[in-house]
Structure formats: C-alpha cells, structure tokens
Structure 1
C-alpha cells in the first residue's frame, strides 16, 4: 500500500516525465496551469518540489530493492531445495544446523553485544533480559533469522545473484562559476563534492564521516570542497585565502577541527604557515569577498540552499550522510562504471 501511495503521489506530481530547468538542466515548457492570463510551466512547478520528487523516487527504489531481494531469496531456496530433493523447511533445518556449529548462539550473542538485553522488533524501545522468558524467545527468533540469512548469503554467492535495479538519477548540476578545491585522485571520472559551511553544526557533525570516506576512496575518487553560507564568514575567507597560497586543504582540516572556535585568526595563520601579510591583505580584499559571493550565488541559483549538501558526479546524493551508506553508493557506482 505504501509503495502504491508513493507511486500515485509521484505520478500526480510529475506527469509523464520530469525535465529540469536552470543550471544546465533542460527546460520543460509544457503548461501546468494558468492564472489571470499568466502561464505556469511544468519546470517552474518542478523547481519548487524537486527535493520531494526525489524523496518519492528514492522511497520507491528502496521499496523495490527490498521486494526484489525477498523474491530472489525465495527463488533461491526453491531452486536449492528442488535440486537436493528436499522441502524448503527441511533444507533450512539441515543448513542452519550446519552453520550453527560454527556460528554458535554464544558467538552470536558475543558478536552482537546482546548480554545486556534484547529488543523485540514490534516494541523497539523496550529492552528484555536475555535470560527472561520473553528474552529467550526473542533471542531464539533472532538467532534463527541470523542463521537463515547466513545460508541465503551462500546461495546468493553460489548462484551469482545480481540486483539490476537502477538508482534514480538526479539531474546534473553545473558548477562552472563555483570556487572548487580538489584532492584525492584528481584524474578520476568519479567525484564527490561536499558543499558545507564551517559554522554549520550539521556540517561539523558530518565531517568525521566525510573524512572516513576520503581516507577509504582517496585513490579512486576525486574529492571536492565548496564553501556555502548565508554570508561571507571569516572562516570561509581564511580557507579561500589559504587556497590562494596553495594551502586550502590544511586550512579546511584545521577549520573543521575541535579547536577551531578556540583559535584566533592570527594563530591559525601562523599554524597553517601562511604568509601573514599576503593573507591579511586577502582577508581584507573586496576582490576575494566578491569572488566568494559570486560563487555562493551560483550555488543558490542551482537550488543548493542547505549545508551539508553532497553531490556525486555533480548530482545530488539523497542518502544518509554516513560513511557506510556513502561508501556503498560509491562502490555501486564504481562497479557500474567498470562494467560499462
């Protein structure tokens, strides 16, 4: 029902196709409505609701992914049971018992830190002791599911399973007039762009996750940083002026460190080893202020208003801002490019 609602809502909002306007997007001049003789075009509507549109698309994709994997698992169990002349229940009983000799319940409890308590799926906020009657029942059910998953993983490898659903493809965003700094594999055809603000609390919370992604993929992916704020802050100015001296990334790391708010400007200039006179002149320069303002205005014109925003291959990434989730997205993208 939820998937049907999402699809019907998505169709009602978008019509037969989505074509984006501005920032390198093609323009859809179909008429959506009229008011007092004024025409309202589809691209104007889409510009207002583009985030909602992609939330629907990704929700549909996630629902399809879950359903696809459930169907694959069911088919694999049927095939394996038929091949071995067993019922599915008998197959699962034999194989989970075999796996359970290695992946014992005590190991499962230890690996998942379940000594302190277990949680029932339908009551996720209540913890039960594993030696209580209900705790034992929850633990037994959880352990059986774990053994079944382990067996299905072996079947997926044996039968070379593939999930071929294509992720939704957000529109490409043009950043021609935006100030961008790059590191990692600068020749890579895959790039991740972090649009952030040193004074944004969400950016500071996300930064350690972004750092983990950089450390893991620095040899495979081009990493880009772009500054965005409501105003030209002194931190952004300092990073940009450090960039003028070829020292942007050291400034970037320093400004995201825990000590940033406890360090004054002169101390940061000294720590970063910048030419002080050149840096002060840059910080006080209307020219640099104007360049940053122009860059941020271009981001706003492309619909990038919030920080942090993550672009992958210049397309907005809508997944969790967590290193594991971003890593899985990059793994899929790199594999797809390799296969292509």
Structure 2
C-alpha cells in the first residue's frame, strides 16, 4: 500500500512541476527594474496589426500557390497535347473566338466604353483603336488559357493546407450587424455571407454560394448581410422583404436577374412572391432601414472587410470564391467534429 501511495505522490508531484514549468514558458521580451514584460502582453496591444500582417503574408502565399498550381496543370495539359503554350492559345482562339464571342466578352467585362491597359498604367483605350484591339485579343487569350487550366483542375483532386489567419475583430461581428439567417438555426457553426446586390462579382459567385449553402445548410447556420460603399435600393428592398420573412428568397431573385435591378424590378419581384405590397412599400420608405444599412457598412468596414463577396468562416475571411472545392475544404476543416 505504501508503494502505491509513494507512486501516487510522485505522479502528482510531476504533474505540478510540469504545469508550473508550462506556465513559466511565457517569453520575456523586456524588464523594467523588477517589472517583467511578456511577449503576450505586447501581442494584445497590437492584435489587429499582427493579423493585418499575417493576412498580407497569407495573401502573398495564396497567390503564389494558385500560380504554382495553375502552372502545374498547364504543363500537364501541354504535355498531354504535345503542344507549346503559344500553339495551344492560338488553336483555342481560332476554334472558339468569333464576332459573337467577342461581342459577348466585351459586354460581360464592361469594356464597351474602353479597355484598361494594366501593364504599365491604368490608361483606357477605345475598344476599336489599334491598342484597344491588341489589349482585347490578349485578354481573350488569357481567359481561354484560364478556362483550359480550370477544365483540368475541375477533374483533379487538389488538397491545400494553407489557411487564412483569424481576424480578432470578427469575433463579435455577427452579433452587431444587420443579418438574416437560414439553414440550421440551432447549429453552433455559422457562416456569414457578406455580399452586395449591385456587385458584378457577387452575381457571378452567387451560384457557388447557393451550392455551398445547399450542401451545408443541414449542419451550419448561414447568415447573410449586405456591404457596399453606399446604400442601394436593392439592399433596402431585401430588408423590407425580410420583415415579411422572405429575405433569402428575395435575395435569390435579385441575383438571378443578371443585372442591377430598377425600382420597377424590385416591386415586380415582391409581387411575384405574393408579399403584402402595402406593407412592403411602407417598409421600403422606412428611414430606419437605410440608417441600419449605413451603420452596417461602417461596422463591416471597421472590421477589416474590403470587398465582396466574402465568406467569414470561424473568423477566417474567404474572399476568393472561384474554387467551390477550396471553400468547401476550409468549411470541412473548420467545422469538423
């Protein structure tokens, strides 16, 4: 019995000593007389600055990784076709590009009023000028090459383990903004979708957001909020619809239009959804909605948001929604049991 007591005493002593040694591992970075300054104390003072720097480094690495992966698949595709990059691009251009394609490309990229030269300056050239035609052809070729690479990536298994840092300002963000939630409302997991009804990239990315929502809605609460540099009539109308319990459905209808809606479009959507139009029009004119959206934009801006669309998953910003597989991977990693 004494042997067991002695062994028990030794184990407890070891645990106490170990826990003390763990506490003593705090890094000392300065001493002022007898006062000790620990690294964690300084970290608390510059938490946001450290995040900003970590996020900058993450973005640099993410861009480099994306470029590396694209180069890998381009080389793989060229080897399979036994072609050079130049020959491939010329072949795709001759096979795909015609006058209808060019017209559609110009409209979809808002180039009808001019095309920007991003090589040296931001000078804009008329689309029909010699320089404009050259830039247009180069942009089309780059787009075709990207589509070729993406077609190979879409049937490949890519696993990335590079994750964005956590923004400390986002910890309490969800409780202070105007949002509407759907999915599993009792879930401990939440994904905040930050978007803008009048943003081209948001419209382009919305089908991906919807698929991500459909895939995860049974286990995750999705919250939706609007963020832009100004308060749009679309954002006001969506909240007016939200007061009748139709925010998500109304948002879906706006993004499905494919263009920035007019007031007539917004009223038509409301009628098609059988909303109480008297109440809808009353809420649309309610100045409290506009005021709440102004406050919302300020809060999101101060939290470090700088663009849309953005997903916030567990305090991590995901602003590149071009890869549905990549977004889903981050979700799985953050919300795995």
The answer for unaligned runs of 5 or more in structure 2 is 1-37, 70-75, 92-155
Alpha-carbon shift at residue 190 of structure 1 (Å): 2.3
Take 1:224 and 1:119, find their aligned partners in 2: how far apart are those partners?
Answer: 48
Which aligned pairs between 1:1-340 and structure 2 lie closer than 5 A?
A: 27-28=44-45, 42=46, 46=50, 49=53, 51-56=55-60, 58=62, 118=81, 123-127=84-88, 167-172=163-168, 173=170, 174-175=172-173, 176-258=175-257, 261=261, 264-317=265-318, 319-334=320-335, 337-338=336-337
The answer for unaligned runs of 5 or more in structure 1 is 1-15, 21-25, 29-41, 67-111, 130-149, 154-162
Take 2:216 and 2:166, find their aligned partners in 1: how far apart are those partners?
Answer: 22
Per-residue CA distance 1:149-182 (angstroms, 9 max, x = gap): x9xx9xxxxxxxxx99684532240322201111
Judged with a 3 Å threshold, the aligned counterparts in structure 2 of structure 1 residues 43 and 221 are, in CA distance, closer, same or farther, namely: closer
Take 2:317 and 2:224, find their aligned partners in 1: how far apart are those partners?
Answer: 14
Give SS of 1:126's match: helix
Q: Is the 8 A contact 1:119 1:125 kept in 2?
A: no
Give SS of 1:303's match: coil
Take 2:310 and 2:160, find their aligned partners in 1: how far apart are those partners?
Answer: 27
Q: Is the 8 A contact 1:206 1:322 kept in 2?
A: no
Give SS of 1:264's match: helix
Take 2:41 and 2:229, find their aligned partners in 1: how far apart are those partners?
Answer: 29
Take 1:19 and 1:303, find their aligned partners in 2: how far apart are those partners?
Answer: 23
Take 2:160 and 2:237, find their aligned partners in 1: how far apart are those partners?
Answer: 46
Judged with a 3 Å threshold, the aligned counterparts in structure 2 of structure 1 residues 276 and 119 are, in CA distance, closer, same or farther, namely: farther
Judged with a 3 Å threshold, the aligned counterparts in structure 2 of structure 1 residues 119 and 314 are, in CA distance, closer, same or farther, namely: farther
Alpha-carbon shift at residue 242 of structure 1 (Å): 0.7
Judged with a 3 Å threshold, the aligned counterparts in structure 2 of structure 1 residues 264 and 58 are, in CA distance, closer, same or farther, namely: closer
RMSD, aligned CA = 3.9
Question: Alignment length, in residue pairs?
Answer: 221
Judged with a 3 Å threshold, the aligned counterparts in structure 2 of structure 1 residues 236 and 168 are, in CA distance, closer, same or farther, namely: closer
Give SS of 1:225's match: strand
Take 2:81 and 2:160, find their aligned partners in 1: how far apart are those partners?
Answer: 35
Judged with a 3 Å threshold, the aligned counterparts in structure 2 of structure 1 residues 19 and 309 are, in CA distance, closer, same or farther, namely: farther
Per-residue CA distance 1:250-275 (angstroms, 9 max, x = gap): 11111111366376232122112211
Q: Is the 8 A contact 1:270 1:276 kept in 2?
A: yes
Alpha-carbon shift at residue 197 of structure 1 (Å): 0.5
Take 1:333 and 1:251, find their aligned partners in 2: how far apart are those partners?
Answer: 29
Alpha-carbon shift at residue 310 of structure 1 (Å): 1.3
Take 1:314 and 1:288, find their aligned partners in 2: how far apart are those partners?
Answer: 27
Judged with a 3 Å threshold, the aligned counterparts in structure 2 of structure 1 residues 322 and 57 are, in CA distance, closer, same or farther, namely: closer
Judged with a 3 Å threshold, the aligned counterparts in structure 2 of structure 1 residues 324 and 18 are, in CA distance, closer, same or farther, namely: farther
Alpha-carbon shift at residue 48 of structure 1 (Å): 6.2
Per-residue CA distance 1:284-320 (angstroms, 9 max, x = gap): 1111111111122111111112111111123212554
Structure-1-length-normalised TM-score:
0.55
